[in-house]
Amino acid sequence: MITTTNNDRYFFFLVSFSCVLSVAVVALGAFTRLTEAGLGCPDWPGCYGFFTVPQTALEQQAAATFFPQTPLEPQKAWNEMLHRYIAGSLGLFIAAINIMAWRKPSRPKLLPSLLLCMVVVQALLGMWTVTLVLMPAVVMAHLLGGFSIVSLLWLLRLQLQSPPSIITNIAAKPLRRLQIAAIISVIAVFFQIALGGWTAANYAALVCSQLPICEANWQQLFDAKAFLLVQPPHDSYQYGVLDYGQRVSIHVVHRIGAMITTVVVLTMAWLCWLQHSLRRYSFGLMLLLLVQIGLGVTNVVASLPLAVAVAHNVTGLGLLVMMVSVSYRVGVGSRRSRTIVQPLPQE
C-alpha cells in the first residue's frame, strides 16, 4: 500500500486533478451527444480542416467547399471541439502521470499503464465516432471508455491515499459474501450504464413516455435484433436507424435493467449498513440511487431535458465510482486485517 508523503504530494494532486477533469470530460461528452453535436465537426481531430471552428468568412467558405454535405453549425462545432480540447488535455495529464509513476519505484505502475492504454483506445473511439458517423456500438464503447477512465483514476487515487482502516469483527464467510456482492454490484451498475449508452446511441430514450414500463405493447414489439452490436451499414446513424419496435425493446430493457440494478444497489447498501465501518458508503449509495431514480423519472415525464439528462449520466458515473470505492475498501481493508492478525512465529 502506498501512502501520500511529501515526495508524492504533487503526484497525488496530479491524479486528483486528472480525476476531476475526467468527470468533466464525461459530462461534456454527454452534453455533446445530447445536443446532437457529435458530428458538429465532420472530420477528426480538427474541424472542417482547421484546428479550431472556422470563424472568418474565408474559413467558412473553405469548409463549405470541402464538406458540402455537412453545413457548418458553429454552436454544435464548438460543443464538439470543446469536448475534444478537454479530452486531449486529460490525455496529456495521464501521460504525465505515467512519467511520474515510472520515475519513482514506490509509485504504482499498473493503473497508470492501463490508463494510458485506455486513453489511446478512447482517442481511437472518438475518431471512429466521427468517421463511422455515430455507429451505435462505437458511441456506446466511447461512453464506457470514459466511465472506465474515471473509475481507474479514482482507484489510483484511493491507492495513493493513506491505507483504509482495518475491517474488523467480520467473520470470514460474511466478509467473503460482502466482497462477492461488491463485485456483482460493480458489474450490474456498469452493465446498466452500457444499456443507457445503447439507449442513447440508438435514439430510444423518448419512445416510451409512461411509467413504469411503456405505453406500447412491448411484449409483441420486442425484437432481440435491437441489441445486435453490428448493424447494417448506413450513410449516417444520427437520429437512429432502428424501427419503432426495436427502439421500444431497447428502452424497456433499460428500464427493467434499472429495476434490477436498484435491487442490487439496495442490497449492497444494506450489507454496508450492517458493518459499522462501511455505513458511510451505505448513505452514499442510497443518496445516489434516489437521485438517479428521480432523474430517470424526470427524463421520461419531461421528455429528456438537457440538464437532467446530463445529470443522469454524471450520477450514474457517481454510482459506479461509489461501487468501485466499496469494492476497494472491502478488498484492501480485509487483506490488511488478515496480514496484521497473523500470529507471530513461535520461538
Residues with a known catalytic role: 80
DSSP summary character for residue 342 = S
Backbone angles phi, psi at 50, to 5 degrees: -115, 165
| Residues paired with 50 in a beta bridge | 47
Closest CA to 34 of 207, 208, 239, 214: 239
Under 8 Å CB-to-CB from 307, ≥6 apart: which residues?
none
Contact 93/17 with Cβ under 8 angstroms? yes
Rounded to whole angstroms, the Cα distance separating 295 from 196 reads 13
DSSP-H helix ranges across the chain: 9-34, 57-66, 74-103, 110-131, 136-160, 172-201, 218-221, 244-274, 279-301, 306-340
Rounded to whole angstroms, the Cα distance separating 105 from 112 reads 13
DSSP summary character for residue 231 = P
Residue type at 209?
S
Buried b (16+ CB within 10 A) or exposed e, 20-39: ebbbbbbbbbbbbbbeebbb
Closest CA to 140 of 202, 73, 197: 197
How deeply is 277 buried, as exposed, middle or buried, from its count of CB atoms within 10 A (0-12, 13-18, 19+)?
middle
| Residues paired with 47 in a beta bridge | 50
Joined together, the cell numbers standing for residue 64 give 463549405
DSSP-H helix ranges across 104-135: 110-131
Task: Tell me the torsion sign for CA atoms 174, 179, 184, 188.
Answer: positive
Identify the three-state secondary structure at position 1: coil
Residue type at 321?
V
